[in-house]
Amino acid sequence: MGQYDAPQQAKANGLYPYFRAIESDQDTVVRIAGKPVLMFGSNSYLGLTNHPWLKEASIKAIEKYGTGCAGSRFLNGTLDIHLELEDRLAKLVNKEASLIYATGFSVNAGVVSCVTGREDYLIFDEYDHASIIEGKRLSFSKLLKYRHNDMDALENILKKCEPDKLKLIVTDGVFSMEGDVAKLPDIVALSKKYNASIYVDEAHSLGVFGKTGAGICEHFGVSDDVDLIMGTFSKSLGTIGGFVAADENIINYLKHNSRTLIFSASITPASTGCVLAALDVMAEETWRKDALWANTNRAKSSFLKAGFEIGPTETPIIPLFVRDNTKTFMLTKMLMDDGVFVNPVVSPAVPSEDSLIRYSLMATHTFDQIDESIEKITRDARKLGIII
């Protein structure tokens, strides 16, 4: 560890792009070092982090329950509003029951690690989120990885599994870096053919896809065919936390076996109240999802017209492929100087030849803000020879 000096080298070159201190709320414009910056690096897809309903609900929860639960859900840390939220989330994603955790990461790490046994199979997409990878590392099951969104590769793996053992396919609904969508209808068909179960991470699709915003499973009409549905509160729902929904037997098992639930402190009253309010907003202000998709379509068409390579994205996450670590850092720095916040994604998160700028949209962005950001990104990318 003492030899690790990559951050120091980036800082010495003036290109270190992480831990940038924001001095305002998470909105379409934030303040950094006293200056306004257009925010195109946020996961607040519906733009709810400063919504008055969420703020009011958080304050009321603190006034009634205090600032924390001082213990785990398993012991002294379950509140009546936890149970209310679990009931609403189960109904949202069309499952019998749900269970809320303090973070989305702890859901995946704590569920994926314990739902299958030593003789069973965990089958996962190579691009699954790091929290899923952490969960599979903690599992004693047989671990099998298939090429990203490659259904032939998935079927070849399923063919090799012992037919009488539990087989759990774990996939992101929306892949958080590339912005593409899991081929859920095909995965469901394969699960039926080979008697497998399915776990879907809806972190980046909740609030974005589906008639009611319930996510990719609702979008494809396969909620009944997916055994476990996971989601987070830190994207569309404006706070922090996560949940998993399934049938009552699975949830009962997790309540008594998921270590990240049993041995972690409860989600705070403020966050719980916030999510309850966010669900109300999502149901009432349906214009937000429509605006998010209008913004997404405008940005995608503009980037393609400018000559950017954006890959197979189908979502408000738009990857701008740079394919060079240093140029990715340079472009991020140039854009920050120009008042545009974006996120660099470089190796080892992705191979160096796949490095990219992650540009993400919110429902509350205006077309003028989008056009201004793309104009600046295009100008700076041309200076670096990323596009012609």
Known catalytic residues?
Answer: 176, 204, 235
Token representation of residue 151 = 């259904």
Task: Look up residue 223 and give its DSSP letter.
Answer: G
Pairing of β 242-246 and β 228-232: antiparallel
Asked whether the bond before 312 is cis by omega within 30 degrees of 0, the reply is no
Reading the block at residue 212, the tokens are: 């009611």
Count of Cβ atoms closer than 10 Å to residue 29 Cβ: 14
36 Cβ contact partners less than 8 Å away, ≥ 6 residues apart: 29, 30, 339
Query: Cβ of 337: how many Cβ atoms within 10 Å?
Result: 11
Cα distance between residue 99 and residue 261, in whole Å: 9
Write the DSSP assignment of 30-62 as a string of letters. EEETTEEEEE-S---TT--TT-HHHHHHHHHHH
Q: Residue 348 contacts by C-beta under 8 Å, 6 or more apart in sequence? A: none
Contact 329, 15 (CB under 8 A): yes
Nearest of 107, 138, 133 to residue 264 by alpha carbon:
107
Phi/psi of residue 233, each to 5°?
-100, -5
Residues in the chain, total: 388
* Cα gap 178→265, rounded to integer Å: 33
How many other C-beta atoms lie within 10 A of the C-beta of residue 188? 20
**Strand, helix or coil for residue 114:** coil
